[in-house]
Each structure stands twice: as structure tokens, then as C-alpha cells.
Amino acid sequence: MTEKKILFSKDDINSAVSRVAEKISEDYRGGELMMVCVLKGAFVFMSDLIRMIEGVDIFVDFVVLSSYGSSTTTSGEVKVLKDLHSPVEGKDVLVVEDIVDTGITLKFFKDQLLRRKPKSVKICALLDKKERREVEIELDYVGFSMQDGFVVGYGIDCDENYRNLPEIWVLKED
């Protein structure tokens, strides 16, 4: 049986998303920004985030990357299950991720993007688990930093369960 404990409330999340959106709005005001949502976990965060960004023309694309499958630990091998539809050459690109853990998946994707010659690539993550980092990756915008723990809710799943929870919870095995 799995027990869960609340980590971040709806109000905590709304405040963090608003803070991040304000900074992105400042950094890109008057310009264009291609926001790339890493599916599936980041879709709720991205949805709230784009509605709070002001003064920026936003274009949206999606990518599906996998290094976990149905496991709670990374395999270390990254697979692109769905690539971008739009070209990124000459564009400011902001990758929106739910959680940055080991950094393996995100570094792989950022390296792929850089080969496509964008104007810039920045990273936005709802959750940063810096202590678990296995590769160097810089995060430009972060909602929350957290310790280790397997989290669900607000779009983040465990084997496709719990995405619909409006808060972020930590799962604990009994």
C-alpha cells in the first residue's frame, strides 16, 4: 500500500508559477518565445505558466522523452518518443519540465536542441532535485527546490496515476 503526504499546496504552486512567469515576462518582454513542454508531466505546469506570462508572443510545441518507463528510477537511456513539430533555428527556446532529477534526460534534449541552432535555450522546471544530479545542467527558472522523494500530482504521475491531484504529494511506501 502507498501512502502520500502533501508537499506543496495549491496556493504554494500558484505563488511559484506566478513568480516564475513574472521573471520570464521580464526576460522576454516584447519578444517571441518558443515554449517546449516536456510531456506528459509538465503539461499542467505549462498550461498555468503560459497564461501568467505577459508581454511576450508565445509559440508552443511539445516533446515526449522517456528514461523512466513505469519505473521510479531512470534507466539512463533517453528515448525521443515524440519530437518537435516546429523548427527552432534562430528562436529563443524555453524548455518546460516538471522535475529535474538526475539531469540525464534534460541534458540529452538540450544538446539535441543546440544542434538545431536556436538563438537561445533556457530551462524552466517546476521541481529541482539538485542533490540527485548525475550530469551538469543549468536551470534558469525553478518553481521549487526539494530533497529526494517520489512526487505526484499537478500533472506528475506514478505509472499514469495521480496526475489529477491539484497539489504536489510525496509518495511513501508502507
Residues with catalytic roles: 101
Contact 62, 36 (CB under 8 A): yes
Residue 14 is placed in which grid cell?
500558484
- Is residue 157 classed as helix, strand or coil in its secondary structure? coil
Report the candidate in 41, 45, 88 with the shortest Cα–Cα distance to residue 68.
41
Give me the amino acid identity at 20: V
In 3D space, the residue among 41, 82, 35, 43 whose CA is nearest the CA of residue 59 turns out to be 35
CA 168 to chain centre: 14
